[in-house]
Chains A and B, each alone.
Chain A
């Protein structure tokens, strides 16, 4: 091969080195290490076959984490994208104050999740918190937002929804502003009502945006961990433990790298599987401009 033919690859090499060492290699490394016992009693990794996976599948804690993660993800994705779409449609209507509303709904994206989690943690305080103070004013019972194991998962989900909805709204707006106004006016003249115009015209036209927002929301849901670390540490009684926090617990609290690697592999496979299933099913039906 001539040197000249190698030149294009040289441009890709710098990025590819980092891509390889910090995305592909770790994904492979986790899959290999998931087949080893590697913990406080096995300081040198010892081959274990699928034992780490078997142990996980038999552990109640693991299934609770899976359940928590599914509940968190589904409610986060559905609620945040639904509200985001609603807000985008409304903001798209107004002439004045449009950019004001945009900024107000978007600003949580600028706040670090670590700080947002602190803010919400203090708003959730049982006695001195803001939310219970207002509940009491309304004559309602105080709620133990973060210490009641039936409610805590809901409470941390709220933080995620508050943090990400504005960003998804912005992505929806980017699509909606491209929908030609003449098309809407024509539909209106033909007698289509607001709901029909949304579902029959706007949504199909922005289906590629909808599709990508969905994928981003899935990734954001599955990687959620900051607010868990700060607000609940996975408790009470494991009720807010999500997959990434569980990986962290196994790796850095119990020093069980074999189990942590098995969980990492499961997470990566889940992410790739969900996204590729979406691409092959919904992705084909999506409307692309250009």
Chain B
């Protein structure tokens, strides 16, 4: 039982803070549909005098949006698919098998959480250049193909599955990889989906690494395209176009979030660390 007064106080405190939190989002939406006249006014208006829907049209004219969308989506999907293979195999070994050096190896995996990819951009850039991968979508994804966080998550999930189930499968002639695919993964789908949400969000939103390793339309992602937009058009009127572009690159993930709020939030809540 909770005292009514403190619950009321919670609402009184949370509501204005929630509204404040929404200001940048509302600002993005309203600016994206403003006309120039509304922007160049010292008095800020929340409701535009005229809804300038043509701003979205302009975005597609000044940036190759479809290509960036395709690049981003394929990087997100490719990265997750490769990750799901590497993390389930490693997680299986750490959860089920005994071998010398296992704990040391697991520790080496966990140290990755402490050395984020952003901290090693300089040497990784050299590696990518040596491999001849500059300006490819592979370059954007490859540095994230092993995920300590994902390995940790799947190891926990596998450990919760009773061994008997695997033994039955083994008697039926299934070997390790097939046990993972046909027995363990179907039973740990929620964990894999949670990882998909976290990894997908991270790679959809990732900015600095893709910025460094891409330099043409061929491999650039949406976030990089957004940054290019302001560099191409630095005058004030282009604020509206930039915010329209921001709405467009945020929308797919945001809609997904609105539809799947519960699973999305649970995925992140289960995340000890947000390292795609």
Interface, chain A (partner B; CB < 8 A): 5, 7-9, 11-12, 14-19, 21-27, 29-30, 33, 87, 90-91, 93-95, 97, 99-116, 118-120, 122-123, 125, 127-128, 130, 133-134, 136, 162, 166-167, 170-171, 173-174, 185, 188, 194, 212, 215-216, 219, 222-223, 225-226, 229-230, 244, 247-248, 251-252, 257, 260-261, 264, 267-268, 271-272, 275
Q: Is the CB of A110 within 8 A of B250?
A: yes
Residues on the A chain within 8 Å of B147, using CB:
15
Cβ of A47 to closest chain B Cβ, rounded Å: 18
* 18 cross-chain CB contacts under 8 A: A8-B97, A8-B99, A9-B93, A15-B86, A15-B109, A91-B14, A99-B265, A101-B18, A104-B22, A107-B257, A111-B205, A118-B230, A119-B24, A125-B239, A170-B265, A171-B271, A174-B270, A222-B119
Once A11-B89, A118-B230 are accepted as A-B contacts, the answer to whether A264 and B146 lie under 8 Å apart by CB is: no
Once A105-B21, A247-B122 are accepted as A-B contacts, the answer to whether A119 and B87 lie under 8 Å apart by CB is: no
Q: Is the CB of A110 within 8 A of B257?
A: yes
Residues on the B chain within 8 Å of A134, using CB:
44
Cβ of B216 to closest chain A Cβ, rounded Å: 17
Q: Is the CB of A119 within 8 A of B246?
A: yes
Is B90's beta carbon under 8 Å from chain A? Answer: yes
- A8 touches which one: B11, B93, B116, B274 (CB < 8 A)? B93
Residues on the A chain within 8 Å of B116, using CB:
219, 223
Cβ of B73 to closest chain A Cβ, rounded Å: 14
Q: Is the CB of A90 within 8 A of B14?
A: yes
Residues on the A chain within 8 Å of B109, using CB:
15, 19
- Further pairs besides A170-B268, A185-B1: 10, Cβ < 8 Å: A93-B10, A112-B226, A125-B236, A128-B39, A130-B23, A173-B269, A244-B121, A247-B122, A248-B212, A264-B120
Once A11-B92, A101-B14, A133-B42 are accepted as A-B contacts, the answer to whether A115 and B250 lie under 8 Å apart by CB is: yes
Q: Is the CB of B273 within 8 A of A91?
A: no
Name, among B3, B98, B111, the residue most crowded by chain A CB atoms within 10 Å (CB to CB).
Answer: B111
CA A23 – CA B120 in complex, angstroms?
Answer: 7
Once A23-B115, A248-B121 are accepted as A-B contacts, the answer to whether A128 and B207 lie under 8 Å apart by CB is: no
- A118 touches which one: B40, B99, B115, B242 (CB < 8 A)? B242
CA A95 – CA B212 in complex, angstroms?
Answer: 46
Is B53's beta carbon under 8 Å from chain A? Answer: no
- A123 touches which one: B22, B24, B250, B269 (CB < 8 A)? B24
Once A18-B146, A90-B13, A271-B115 are accepted as A-B contacts, the answer to whether A7 and B176 lie under 8 Å apart by CB is: yes
Q: Is the CB of A104 within 8 A of B11?
A: no
Q: Is the CB of A112 within 8 A of B207?
A: yes
Interface, chain B (partner A; CB < 8 A): 1-3, 6-7, 10-11, 13-14, 17-18, 21-25, 27-28, 31, 39-44, 85-87, 89-90, 92-94, 97-99, 102, 105, 108-109, 111-127, 142-148, 151, 176, 201, 204-208, 211-212, 222-224, 226-227, 230, 236, 239, 242-243, 246, 249-250, 253-254, 257, 261-262, 264-265, 268-274
CA A169 – CA B40 in complex, angstroms?
Answer: 37
- B99 touches which one: A5, A102, A251 (CB < 8 A)? A5
Residues on the A chain within 8 Å of B270, using CB:
174
CA A26 – CA B236 in complex, angstroms?
Answer: 41
Name, among B25, B31, B116, B264, the residue most crowded by chain A CB atoms within 10 Å (CB to CB).
Answer: B116
Q: Is the CB of B246 within 8 A of A26?
A: no
Q: Is the CB of A118 within 8 A of B226?
A: yes
Q: Is the CB of B40 within 8 A of A128?
A: yes
Q: Is the CB of B250 within 8 A of A162?
A: no
- B120 touches which one: A22, A173, A226 (CB < 8 A)? A22
Once A167-B274, A170-B265 are accepted as A-B contacts, the answer to whether A112 and B122 lie under 8 Å apart by CB is: no
Residues on the A chain within 8 Å of B17, using CB:
87, 105
Cβ of A253 to closest chain B Cβ, rounded Å: 12
| Minimal Cβ-Cβ distance residue in B for A110 | B257
CA A122 – CA B109 in complex, angstroms?
Answer: 41
Q: Is the CB of A104 within 8 A of B21?
A: yes
Cβ of A288 to closest chain B Cβ, rounded Å: 13
CA A223 – CA B143 in complex, angstroms?
Answer: 16
